[in-house]
């Protein structure tokens, strides 16, 4: 099928590249100034510009589209009144659209055209409590063994920090100085980015940010539909098994059924194992992110945006291995479970003759290995069974 280029396509794409550069610069600034070793990993920090409903307009890096889209929409729906009044909302709760307790999310208004749009920044914290330094616990059987959960809270209103919320977070970290630096840096980066976007103004040939937002999502949706309509349409069903040696959790099935009709791709995880007492439970954000990453090619040469997600639908059974909704641990799922899902979706997409984006650079385990008590299995990613935890110096670049 030949796609007809619309009259708005070129300014839409040009605008996405311009805004994307601002977001990428903000990510680089945060990572470059953070004293935390975990922020040095290019995969761990993400910034997005969202519309009023929480749909992603632009994001850096693009690999985070699926997970951030799920997180952003959830937080915007829960906190729209607060965001409209210029407050900064913070959370690390995996069960409120998040991923793991290590990942903090800040959301605030972008203040474009009378408060239009939202900005979201996600960054990994070094430590937020739990049984072990670093909040990575391969033997965790519940989320409290990994760290504390901060439900969506107002961190700042106007220029005034809520010191009660700030201190609550810092009191529960073994490395409060590192975390304080990153929290203040995150606020500064969001403020500067909002200012830069305001100074820039709407992309050329658009009279308003609102019209450009609409054109971005419409174009992204159209490109995704065109790609899907040209793909093979046979339904697929596959089962693959995941295990976690440290908790003796073995051969848990993840079932993926796909059905493609009329330019829409349905992905159904019904039949997947129930959530386990092991840190490999994925939240909805982690699972959606793992699916979307290999499918970014549906947009062609268009930068990542939420238009893609208008044509990909999900069925994620609650309290399953791919949609943890209560207090099971999730800490290792962005690597183990997410990598397994991405591998399977990549094979399905290739069979459909779709362009597949390589997920491996984004789902592989961190380069810095965690020296924490483990099962002693020679193939285990974690440290030896005799390890006694992580030294603070392993997490600081200063």
Query: In angstroms, rounded to a whole number, what is the distance separating the alpha carbons of residues 99 and 329?
Result: 10
Q: Are residues 18 and 131 both part of a single domain?
A: yes
Q: What is the pTM of this model?
A: 0.92
- pLDDT value at 15 more than 50: yes
Q: Are residues 88 and 210 both part of a single domain?
A: yes
Mean pLDDT of the region 293-297:
97
The two three-digit tokens of residue 206, written as one number: 């658009």
Nearest alpha-carbon partner for 295 in 65, 21, 51: 65
Q: Give me the pLDDT at residue 385, please.
A: 43
Q: Are residues 32 and 176 both part of a single domain?
A: yes
Q: Give me the pLDDT at residue 394, please.
A: 54
| Total domain count, the chain | 2
Residue 368 lies in a domain: no
Mean pLDDT of the region 336-345:
94
Q: Are residues 92 and 175 both part of a single domain?
A: yes
Q: Are residues 206 and 323 both part of a single domain?
A: no
Mean pLDDT of the region 290-299:
97
C-beta neighbour count of 39 within 10 angstroms: 24
Query: In angstroms, rounded to a whole number, what is the distance separating the alpha carbons of residues 65 and 389?
Result: 33
Residue 97 lies in a domain: yes
Strands 236-244 and 249-261: antiparallel
18-34 pLDDT tens trace: 999 999 999 999 998 88
The values of phi and psi at residue 41, to 5°, are -75, 120
Query: In angstroms, rounded to a whole number, what is the distance separating the alpha carbons of residues 398 and 393?
Result: 9
Pick the range with the lowest mean pLDDT from 70-79, 113-122, 190-199. Answer: 113-122
Element (H, E) at 348: helix 336-351
- pLDDT value at 81 more than 80: no
Cα–Cα distance list, 231 to 101, 315, 341, 348 (Å)? 38, 21, 20, 11
Residue that has been written with the tokens 């210029």 in this structure: 86
Q: Give me the pLDDT at residue 86, please.
A: 76
Mean pLDDT of the region 295-303:
96
Quote the strand ranges of the chain, DSSP E.
Answer: 46-50, 56-60, 87-91, 103-112, 116-124, 153-157, 160-161, 236-244, 249-261, 264-268, 312-315
Pick the range with the lowest mean pLDDT from 20-24, 107-111, 277-281. Answer: 107-111
What phi-psi label fits residue 298: left (phi over 0), alpha (psi between -120 and 50 degrees) or beta?
alpha
Q: Give me the pLDDT at residue 396, please.
A: 57
Question: What does pLDDT average to over the chain?
Answer: 89
Torsion of CA 33, 34, 38, 44, to 10 degrees: -70
Q: Give me the pLDDT at residue 374, please.
A: 77
Task: Quote the domain boundaries for residue 116.
Answer: 9-217
Residue 226, SS3? helix
Q: Are residues 208 and 236 both part of a single domain?
A: no
Pick the range with the lowest mean pLDDT from 128-142, 270-284, 337-351. Answer: 128-142
Q: What angle do CA 282, 287, 291 make, to 5 degrees?
A: 155
Eight-class DSSP state of 272: P
The two three-digit tokens of residue 360, written as one number: 């491996």
In this prediction, what percent of the chain has a pLDDT beyond 70?
92
Q: Are residues 198 and 291 both part of a single domain?
A: no
With beta carbons less than 8 A apart as the criterion, state whether 205 and 11 touch: yes
With beta carbons less than 8 A apart as the criterion, state whether 286 and 330 touch: yes
- pLDDT value at 392 more than 70: no
Structure confidence at residue 290 as a pLDDT band (50, 70, 90): very high
Residue 196 lies in a domain: yes
Q: Give me the pLDDT at residue 381, please.
A: 82
- pLDDT value at 239 more than 80: yes
Residue 177 lies in a domain: yes
- pLDDT value at 252 more than 70: yes
Q: Give me the pLDDT at residue 83, please.
A: 77
With beta carbons less than 8 A apart as the criterion, state whether 311 and 225 touch: yes
Q: 4 vs 222, which has greater pLDDT?
A: 222
């Amino acid at each position: 099928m030949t796609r007809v280029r619309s009259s708005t396509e070129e300014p839409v794409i040009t605008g996405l590249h311009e805004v994307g550069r601002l977001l990428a610069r903000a990510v680089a600034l945060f990572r470059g100034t953070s004293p935390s070793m975990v922020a040095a990993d290019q995969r761990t920090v993400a910034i997005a510009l969202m519309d009023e409903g929480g749909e992603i307009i632009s994001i850096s890096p693009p690999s985070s589209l699926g997970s951030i889209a799920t997180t952003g929409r959830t937080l915007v729906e829960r906190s729209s009144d607060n965001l409209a009044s210029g407050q900064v909302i913070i959370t690390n709760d995996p069960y409120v659209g998040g991923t793991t307790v290590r990942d903090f999310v800040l959301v605030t208004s972008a203040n474009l055209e009378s408060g239009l749009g939202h900005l979201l920044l996600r960054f990994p914290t070094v430590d937020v409590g739990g049984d072990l330094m670093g909040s990575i616990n391969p033997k965790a059987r519940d989320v409290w063994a990994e760290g504390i959960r901060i439900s969506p809270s107002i961190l700042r209103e106007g220029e005034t920090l809520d010191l009660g919320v700030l201190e609550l977070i810092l009191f529960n970290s073994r490395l409060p100085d590192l975390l304080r630096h990153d929290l203040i840096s995150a606020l500064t980066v969001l403020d500067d980015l909002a200012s830069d976007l305001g100074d820039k103004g709407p992309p050329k040939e658009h009279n308003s940010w609102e019209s450009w937002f609409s054109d971005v999502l419409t174009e992204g949706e159209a490109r995704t539909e065109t790609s899907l309509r040209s793909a093979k349409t046979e339904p697929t069903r596959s089962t693959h098994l995941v295990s976690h040696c440290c908790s003796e959790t073995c051969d848990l099935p993840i079932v993926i059924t796909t059905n493609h009709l009329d330019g829409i791709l349905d992905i159904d995880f019904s039949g997947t194992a129930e959530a386990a007492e092991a840190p490999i439970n994925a939240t909805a954000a982690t699972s959606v992110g793992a699916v979307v990453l290999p499918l970014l090619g549906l947009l062609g040469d268009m930068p990542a945006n939420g238009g893609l997600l208008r044509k990909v639908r999900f069925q994620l059974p609650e309290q399953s291995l791919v949609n943890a909704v209560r207090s099971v641990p999730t800490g290792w799922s962005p690597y183990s479970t997410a990598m397994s899902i991405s591998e399977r979706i990549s094979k399905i997409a290739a069979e459909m003759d779709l362009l597949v984006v390589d997920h491996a650079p984004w789902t592989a385990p961190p380069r810095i290995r965690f020296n924490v008590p483990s099962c002693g299995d020679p193939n285990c990613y974690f440290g030896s069974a005799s390890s006694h935890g992580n030294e603070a110096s392993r997490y600081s670049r200063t």
